[in-house]
Structures are given as structure tokens and as C-alpha cells.
Amino acid sequence: MLTLHAARGAALALAAMLAAAIPALASVDRNASFAAPAGDALTATEFADLTTRGPAPLTTTAALQLDEHSISVRFRAEQGGVPITATQTTNNVGFGVDDYVGVGIDTSGNGTQVYYFEISPRGVRYQQSSESSRFDPPWQGTAVIDQGNWTATLLIPLRALRLRSGHSQTWRINFIRRVAARGEDYSWAYSPLMDSSPAFPNVLDARFWPALREVHVAAGLVRLAPHGEVYALGSAGSDRSQFQVAPAAPDRFARAPIRAYGGDLTYPLTGSLAMVATLSPDFSNVETDQQTIAPQEFPRALSEYRPFFAQGAAFFNPNPLSFSLIAAPDQVFYSPNIGSFDRGLKLEGTFGMQSIGAMEIKGAGFDDEVYGFQHLVPGRSFQWCADGVAAHHANGNDTTTEGGIEWHNLSNGLIYGLDGALERGTFVTTPGAGHTLGAFVDVRRANYEANVGWKDVGPQFAPLDGYTSINDARGPVAYVNLLGNGSARSVVKSWLIALGADRLRDGSGAVREADTTMSLDLTFKNLIHLTPGSIVSELRGYAQGYPAYTGGQTKPFNQHNFGIGYRDGTPTPLDFNYIWGPFSNFYLQQFTSSTSRPLGRRASISFEYDGTLERFTAGGRDGQWLRRVSLAESLGPEENLSLGLRSVSGSGGFARPGVNLSVGYHRRFANGGELYVDYGTPAAVATLNRLIVKYVLNFGGGTGT
């Protein structure tokens, strides 16, 4: 089994290994295939620059070795006079603002179990998984900066990955690099269809990676031992029993039973399929600040942070199709609609070319079941999926089933998709009124994407556990994106022009929603970033909707905007955006501004200041302001302290006024245990007088595996 040497020794070992490695391979595509290296290293050079869609200007060399228990990857990153960016000092904090190198591993071969492991020039480690936003297994890494260049070594135990059955397997792999000072992302595997957005690295890009054949896995690693977490919690303060309990309302807190202990358990059934259970789940120290004062045209979509729902979330929403132009995608299962619950049990993972999820959640007044199934061929060129929810609530029952199918020709970029859902139960009084149907044809090429589709959402479609932006709407949806890069002598780094339109009618024949969008995303080589755009939108509402359609009124929701950013994706970004236009029954003017700065080698501070002004058609005005300051201090590789102060004042906007102070401390111990000490919570409107001390003991494996 491979071992990890000291940092200086790792750099010397890298140089020796590269000298004796098999011949270097230029950037590759999905059709390339390599046998897993049994002795010499598989070496990769000549990376592509995804940002400029040309050869990477800085040299990167990656070398991979593999045995039956671990993966070792060594990198040499040459900077060519470009400053090295390395400001972070705590693992899993501040990903994306520093330089990093990393490896991508798809053990499923079809994109359902994709992992990334990254390391910065200061040896700060990060990792992601397509299965869980909480993926945090034990692995090792070191980095050394030497004369303006840097090297790194990553050692990843195979126990950190979910593996399919079979002693000899075929995976997909890739090597990546971020150069923060240039705002560029490099990749060994390359396709003009790969994602070069701020979401890099994207797990969906695994479809474009080369195959790694004949991967031999020790028999004992295919099925891992059970692992889990047990927590103990103590609290104090006059608000010690105040917890976030209301679904879809992040600023509402109420009294709830204090849970002094509980836990999560993962029991692997195979190498890639597991049972997951939670009892008395506690979320007191992991709430995030999602406050905004921006008025909304559609219901607000929240990010899920709770461990039980975050792990394996993709298995329960397998449908990748989206038919919304400016609203968040509709979802049959939207976990933020599930409030506080007492227990949960689920089966999730993959077998063969399939992924599966089955879950039960029980709390006060509800007992719901959720399922998802997806079949994917290698490369994700064809897939079909099915998912659904059976919601049993005190005020009624609701059952929704959904199915979808998609073809993707990876050679010519043509994509075809079809999706439909049917809702039945207490709240669907007319058979067939709770349905959706969508279809599209899409073509993606190196410099453009064009999509034409049809959307039909029934007048009573609104699953209890789902998210529906707007129902009773049917009609065409179309958009086109044009993208390109500046020449070698141009001051432009990259540009994107996006155009879109839809026109959706309700059951009365009136236009329910109509939208036209135009935007430009322009990035210069000096890292100035301009984002002007316009959304011209109208939305019709009724005093009494389907089937009466009385009291109809159509309102404008127009948003013209101009945004400017500087050094986005670095430790010192500066962003400003201004929005104006008629919005419902008032004229809206809104600005947002934010920046962050390092403070020495271990601390950073960020600021945000937003303002909203509403001038009503009937006379009068409202104004609301949001101020946010966050301070983070790294106390070590596995220890950090954070402080947040937020103030919302004025009337109008979207949030209730209040001042919120929150303080959080986190420490991970060598035994895998974690300590949290929190005062207040960043999710509340006003400061909660609530001190919580929580210890989590991890046993048997890594978090989110």
C-alpha cells in the first residue's frame, strides 16, 4: 500500500517518478481509454484551458499510481511568473478562491458516482461528491512551493469511494487545475461542451473524461463496514428552545423540543448501495444565512443544508430536465418543504447502470415516502428516470409520480428530452388537473447552444413536498446562448450572450406568463467582469383562479440590470449590481454590493450592502437596507472561528427588520470527532440568545460516504 511522505520528500519523489513515468499524454477526450497503471505512473500533460477554450498557457504535469487499496496522484504546477494564490489555511473553507490542483474519479463509469479531491499550494484540502454535499472522508495531501512553482501529492484510500462489484472495473478519470490570479480553469480531459462556469468543477463533466480500464480493487473494499455519527448537545440561554421549524420560511423560528442526543447510521449493502438512517436529527449548528431583501416574482427556492437530506440528494431528484426560463426548476421532491422531523430511513446508491433512492420521513403531523430511479448508459448518452412522493399529512394526502427520458448525442451535441408528472390526492379535485408535461430539442456546440421546448403545468399541480414556480401555464419556451473568447491580442478573455423567450397561457386562454430575456456576460483579461441584461416579464393572477378565472390582473415584473465585478473567484473580489424597472404594483430600484479581503495569513473579512426602493403606483414609497459583515479566523488546518453580523432595516423588500449576531466555532479531532460551539444562528431575523455546545463522534468511516 502507498504511504504519504513528508512534504519535501513528496516533491523529490514527484520529480523522480515523472522522470521514470510512461510517456506523457496530451489533453484527451471521452473516447480515449487507458489501462490502469500497475507499476509506472500514468502521466498527463498539455492541459486545456476551459476558460479560454484553448491550450493552457501554464504547464501542469499529473502522475497517477494505483494499487488495490489507494490512489496516489502527484502534480507539478509551473506558474511562469504568475503569482501563486494561497490565502486559506483551514481544510474545506474558502474553496475556489485559491490556486488548486485536483483529480476527478468516476467509479460508476456513467456519472452517477463522481468524486473530486483538490489541494491548494499551502496543502489545504477540499473534496466533492455527486452523492453528498457533506462528503468529507479521511484522506491525505501535502504541497510544497519552490521558486515560484509548486508541487502536490494526494493519497486517497479506496475506502473513501463507493465501488461497484467486480474485481476488475472501468472508471473515468480527469486532472484539473485552478489559476486564481488569471481566473482560469484547466482540465486534462477536454470537450468544447464542458462547463467553464463558476460551477467548475462540475460532476456532469465526467461524461467527457477518458476511461481507466482494468482497475483492480481488493475484495474487502467492495463492501465497507457500517459507519455513522452520534451527537450529544447542551444548550443555554433564554432562546435555547427556539429552532427553525417552518418549511419554506427561513426566518421563522418557534419553540421545539430540545434534542440532547441523536445520530445517523450508514449501513452498506454493497460497495455502492447503502441504507441510511437518522434518529432525533439536530440542525442547531449548521443553519446558513439565506436572508435577502430582493422582492420575488416566483416562490423563493432555498438551499438544503440538513445532513440527512444533503447526502444522496441527487438520487431522489434524478430528473435533469428543466423547462423554466427565469424561475427555479420545478421539483416533485423539495426537501426544504419538510420542516422539523423525528426520524428518517432511506436506501440510496447505485447498482450496475442504475441509481436508486427510497426514503421515509416522519415528523409531527406527517409521514411521507419518496423514491427515485435512474438508468444511465456509459457517458450519459441515454437515460430514463422515474421518481415520486407519497405525502401523508394531517390535512390531507398527496401522491405525485414523474418520469423522464433523455437522449444525448455526444458527437454532434443534439439532446432530446421528454418529461411528465401526475399528482393525485386531497388537493386535486379535477382528474388530470394535477399534471405536467414537457419536451425539448437542444443542440450544444463549441460556440452556441439552442433550445426549443414546450411546457404544460396543470392548474392544480402543486405537490405538498415539492416546489412549483407557477401552475396553470402551457406554451413554448426557447433560448439561445452564444459564447466565445478573445484573441491572443484582445483585452477580452471570454463572452456569453444569452437570449430567451416564453409565452404560457392558462386554462382560460389568457397569457399566464410571458418572458423575454437578454444578457451579456463579458470577462476581460484584467478580471473586470460586466453583466448587463434585461428581463421583460408579465404574470397574471386571479382573485379566483381555475376553473372560474375571475378578477384577473396582469402585472409587469421587469428587471433591467447592470453588474460589474472585479477579481471574481479570487480572495479579493468586488461586485456591484443595479436593477430597475416596473415590478408588480411599484417601480423597483435595487442595488447589491459585496467584497471580501484577507486579514493577514489566517483571517478574512467580507462585507455586503444592499438596498431596495419601491415607488408605488398609487403613491408612496418603501425602502429597505441589508448590511452584512462576516469575519473568519483560521485557528489551524481543522479548526476555525466565524462571526456574522447582519442588519435589516426599513419596510418593503422581502425580509423583516432586525439585527442578528452569530458566532460559530468548529474543531475536528484526530479521532474523527467534531466539536461545535455556536451562539445564535445566522438564519434568524434577530439575534437568538442561544448558546449550543455539540460534540459529534464519527465512527467507521468518513462523513457523507
Per-residue pLDDT band at 166 (split at 50, 70, 90): low
Listed by start position, the domains of the chain span: 7-220
Cell of 613: 426602493
Least trusted range by pLDDT, from 6-15, 155-164, 276-285, 560-569: 6-15
Q: What pLDDT score was predicted for residue 26? A: 56
Q: What pLDDT score was predicted for residue 14? A: 40
Q: What pLDDT score was predicted for residue 684? A: 84
Query: What percent of the chain shows pLDDT beyond 70?
Result: 92
**Residue 648 CB-density burial (10 A; 0-12 exposed, 13-18 middle, 19+ buried):** buried
Q: What angle do CA 271, 277, 278 make, to 5 degrees?
A: 140
- The string of pLDDT tens digits covering residues 58-67 is 999 999 998 8
Q: What pLDDT score was predicted for residue 8? A: 40
**Residue 47 CB-density burial (10 A; 0-12 exposed, 13-18 middle, 19+ buried):** buried
HSE-up of residue 608 (Cα within 13 Å, Cβ side): 17
For residue 18, the surrounding DSSP H or E stretch is helix 7-20
Q: What pLDDT score was predicted for residue 381? A: 83
Cell of 249: 420560511
548-551: long-range contacts, CB 8 A cutoff, minimum separation 24:
549/506, 549/507, 549/508, 549/510
Q: What pLDDT score was predicted for residue 9? A: 45
- Residue 595 in contact with residue 606, Cβ under 8 Å? yes
Q: What is the mean pLDDT of residues 465-492?
A: 93
Q: What's CA 497's distance to the chain center, in Å?
A: 24
- The string of pLDDT tens digits covering residues 412-442 is 889 999 999 999 999 999 999 999 999 999 9
CATH class of the domain comprising 7-220: mainly beta
- Residue 83 in contact with residue 632, Cβ under 8 Å? no
- The string of pLDDT tens digits covering residues 570-603 is 899 999 999 999 999 999 999 999 999 999 889 9
Q: What pLDDT score was predicted for residue 247? A: 59
Closest CA to 585 of 554, 624, 544, 610: 554
Query: What percent of the chain shows pLDDT beyond 90?
Result: 58
Parallel, antiparallel, or unpaired for β 211-216 and 33-35? parallel
Q: What pLDDT score was predicted for residue 238? A: 93
Average per-residue pLDDT for the chain: 88
Q: Which amino acid is at 180?
A: A
Q: Is pLDDT at 13 greater than 60 in this prediction? A: no
Q: Strand pairing partners for 266?
A: 227, 276
- Residue 374 in contact with residue 406, Cβ under 8 Å? no
- The string of pLDDT tens digits covering residues 446-473 is 889 999 999 999 999 999 999 999 999 9
Higher pLDDT, 15 or 279: 279
**Residue 620 CB-density burial (10 A; 0-12 exposed, 13-18 middle, 19+ buried):** exposed
Q: What pLDDT score was predicted for residue 116? A: 97
Closest CA to 631 of 621, 622, 644: 644
Q: What angle do CA 379, 422, 402 make, to 5 degrees?
A: 15
Closest CA to 170 of 217, 137, 224: 217
| Cα–Cα distance list, 569 to 282, 574, 599 (Å) | 33, 10, 17
Q: CA-to-CA distance for 255 and 558, rounded, in angstroms?
A: 40
Q: CA-to-CA distance for 354 and 568, rounded, in angstroms?
A: 38
Can you give the length of the chain in residues?
705
Q: What is the mean pLDDT of residues 235-246?
A: 83
- Residue 223 in contact with residue 232, Cβ under 8 Å? no
Q: What pLDDT score was predicted for residue 137? A: 87
Q: Is pLDDT at 152 greater than 80 in this prediction? A: yes
Higher pLDDT, 4 or 682: 682
Q: Is pLDDT at 539 greater than 60 in this prediction? A: yes
Q: Is pLDDT at 20 greater than 70 in this prediction? A: no
Q: Could you say which DSSP state residue 51 is in?
A: T
pTM: 0.86
Q: What pLDDT score was predicted for residue 204? A: 84
Q: CA-to-CA distance for 170 and 172, rounded, in angstroms?
A: 7
End-to-end CA distance of the chain: 21
Q: What pLDDT score was predicted for residue 242? A: 83
Q: CA-to-CA distance for 250 and 290, rounded, in angstroms?
A: 7
Q: What is the mean pLDDT of residues 527-544?
A: 96
- Residue 89 in contact with residue 638, Cβ under 8 Å? no
